[in-house]
Amino acid sequence: MATVARQVREYIAGHPSITDALKMDIVNYSALARRICKELGIRREEAVLAACRRYPVEKLRGYSEDAIRRMLKKSQVQTRTKVAAITVVEGVDVLQRLGDVVEELLDENKVCRLLQVSRGTVIIVDDTSVSRVTKKLRPEHIISVARGLVEIAVTSPETIEKTPGLLAFLSGALASRGINIVEEMSCYTDTIFILDRKDMTRAMEVLAQNLE
């Protein structure tokens, strides 16, 4: 049976919001101990409180919020509306069918991004290009098609590749406002979010606040 100290360490390590608060030294340890006791069914609140206070904050690793904010001040935001996400099943034959249309869309300088996931591929295109993609596929190849989405891209300096945490920071900021992220990706200097159209205004407000 795990000791109280070990249970506390594992609980805190599994809750990034708590570790962030610990790093900023803004935690009410008594409240945290009561929460852990309640969730883990531990009756020894004093032991839990002591374990919380002894948690090795100095060994916590993660991103530096100050570094992220400095990076965001040098970043720019671009938006694109009328975006669609097509999810297809995995398979070499599916990708082969998509080859020509992907090449055509890229030649025409249209949006076309392929994200391979564990069970298939997500294709990000303009709404107007959806039919061109789906016509290349069989009905059984298509898992879902979501239209009317928006894309928000945060473009940062090249040093972003050596600055950990930007995606996590922005994702957390959006999630804290109840904004659902349909798709997200971080590639080279761009951090890209695909959202529902109804969330665009609130998302831009959140990002603008963090870029100031």
Neighbouring CB atoms inside 10 A of 80's CB total 15
**Which of 120, 100, 123 is CA-nearest to residue 112?**
123
* Cα Dmax for the chain: 66
The CA-atom distances, in angstroms, between 107 and each of 78, 85, 100, 110 are: 22, 20, 11, 8
The rounded distance, in Å, linking the Cα atoms of 154 and 24 is: 26
State which amino acid sits at residue 192: I
**pLDDT tens column, 132-190:** 999 998 899 999 999 999 999 999 888 888 877 888 888 888 888 889 999 998 888 89
**Ramachandran angles phi, psi of 81, nearest 5°:** -100, 175
DSSP bridge pairs for 195: 150, 181
pLDDT of amino acid 169: 83
| Residue entry with tokens 């957390």 | 172
Structure tokens of 135?
A: 């016509």
Concatenated DSSP letters of the chain: ---HHHHHHHHHHT-HHHHHHHHTT---HHHHHHHHHHHHT---HHHHHHHHHTS-GGG-----HHHHHHHHHT-EEEEEEEEEEEEEE--HHHHHHHHHHHHHHHHTT--EEEEEETTEEEEEEEGGGHHHHHTTS-GGGEEEEEEEEEEEEEE--GGGGGSTTHHHHHHHHHHTTTPPEEEEEEETTEEEEEEEGGGHHHHHHHHHHHH-
Q: In tens digits, what is the pLDDT along the chain, a chain of 212 residues?
A: 468 888 998 888 888 778 878 888 889 999 999 999 999 999 889 999 999 999 887 666 666 677 888 888 888 889 999 999 999 998 878 888 888 898 999 999 998 988 888 888 899 999 999 999 999 988 999 999 999 999 999 998 888 888 778 888 888 888 888 899 999 988 888 999 999 999 999 999 888 887 77
Is the whole model's pTM more than 0.75, yes or no? no
Strand 142-155 to 76-89 pairing: antiparallel
